[in-house]
């Protein structure tokens, strides 16, 4: 038969067991909350892909693009601390990174800077070629519809348009070599593909966003200023 001391010890053990259960329960809840707050492997993979290349194109990586659409909100949340945002163009099949507007609103006319994003500085030749390609891309979409087929242009069709704005060297080989060199430079921006065996180049859908009306207007202003400076120098002579 248990005495008073046994009952006290037994009561103490019950209390300790209850405290232990409560502590274990709290620890389990904390672990569940921590696990629920962890970024999923899908979102990590997609965010890392975007940070690596800057864009995901549906025709090249359809599964990545599909998951980008599914996890759009989660990716945006993961990018928010970096002052970056995900832009989705489901019609043309491209997802790409952009600097958040909050990071671009600077005072005193300062240009935005970002530690993870290099501001694109195209030469005048590159910019003019982008404008030509953008025009060809728009014409393709007007004829075929937005996102219904791949926009291609042959080197034979592109070269005469190119020479409209650039001096003709008098040598077909040199003119084509110059054009091919510029196309190769634009390839790193995701604007065009490599020239294929049929001497055609794919104009990638990202050009619709990189060569937007604002950037084309800025190019037009530069060309006007350049033209005025040339006219002034000729009149001085």
The SS3 call for residue 139 is helix
Number of domains, the chain = 2
Cα distance from N-terminal residue to C-terminal residue, the chain: 123
CATH of the domain at 79: 3.90.1150
Phi, psi of 93, deg, nearest 5: 75, 50
Mark whether 157 and 215 lie in a shared domain.
yes
For residues 119 and 138, the model is more confident at 138
For the whole model, what pTM was predicted? 0.70
In this structure, are residues 130 and 191 in contact, taking their beta carbons and an 8 Å threshold? Answer: yes
Over the stretch 204-237, which tens digit does the pLDDT of each residue have? 999 998 876 565 555 555 555 554 554 444 445 4
* Domain presence at residue 47: yes
Mark whether 159 and 220 lie in a shared domain.
yes
Nearest to 126 by CA among 169, 189, 173: 189
Given 104, 132, 153, the domain boundary residue is 104
* Domain presence at residue 8: no
Within 10 angstroms of residue 153's Cβ, the number of other Cβ atoms is 19
Range of the domain at 147: 124-230
Low-confidence winner among 16-25, 43-52, 106-115, 146-155 (lowest mean pLDDT): 16-25
What is the rounded (10 degree) CA torsion for 34, 39, 40, 46?
180
Whether the predicted pLDDT of 67 surpasses 80: yes
Q: What is the pLDDT of residue 232?
A: 45
The residues near 231 (Cβ < 8 Å, ≥ 6 apart) are none
* Domain presence at residue 237: no
Q: What is the pLDDT of residue 211?
A: 78
Residue ranges of E strands in the chain: 55-57, 84-89, 94-99, 151-154, 200-203
């Amino acid at each position: 038969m248990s005495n008073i001391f046994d009952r006290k010890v037994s009561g103490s053990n019950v209390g300790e067991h209850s405290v232990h259960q409560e502590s274990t329960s709290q620890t389990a809840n904390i672990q569940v909350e921590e696990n629920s707050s962890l970024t999923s492997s899908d979102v990590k993979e997609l965010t890392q892909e975007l940070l690596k290349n800057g864009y995901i194109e549906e025709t090249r990586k359809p599964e990545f693009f599909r998951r980008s659409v599914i996890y759009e909100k989660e990716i945006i949340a993961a990018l928010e601390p970096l002052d970056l945002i995900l832009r989705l163009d489901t019609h043309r099949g491209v997802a790409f990174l952009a600097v958040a507007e909050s990071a671009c609103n600077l005072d005193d006319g300062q240009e935005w800077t970002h530690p993870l994003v290099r501001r694109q500085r195209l030469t005048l030749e590159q910019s003019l070629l982008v404008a030509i390609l953008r025009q060809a891309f728009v014409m393709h979409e007007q004829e075929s519809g937005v996102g219904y087929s791949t926009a291609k242009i042959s080197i034979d069709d592109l070269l005469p348009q190119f020479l409209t704005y650039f001096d003709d060297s008098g040598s077909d080989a040199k003119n084509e070599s110059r054009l091919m060199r510029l196309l190769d430079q634009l390839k790193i921006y995701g604007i065009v593909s490599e020239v294929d065996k049929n001497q055609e180049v794919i104009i990638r859908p990202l050009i619709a966003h990189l060569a937007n009306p604002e950037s084309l207007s800025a190019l037009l202003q530069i060309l006007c200023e350049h033209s005025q400076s040339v006219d002034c120098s000729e009149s001085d002579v």
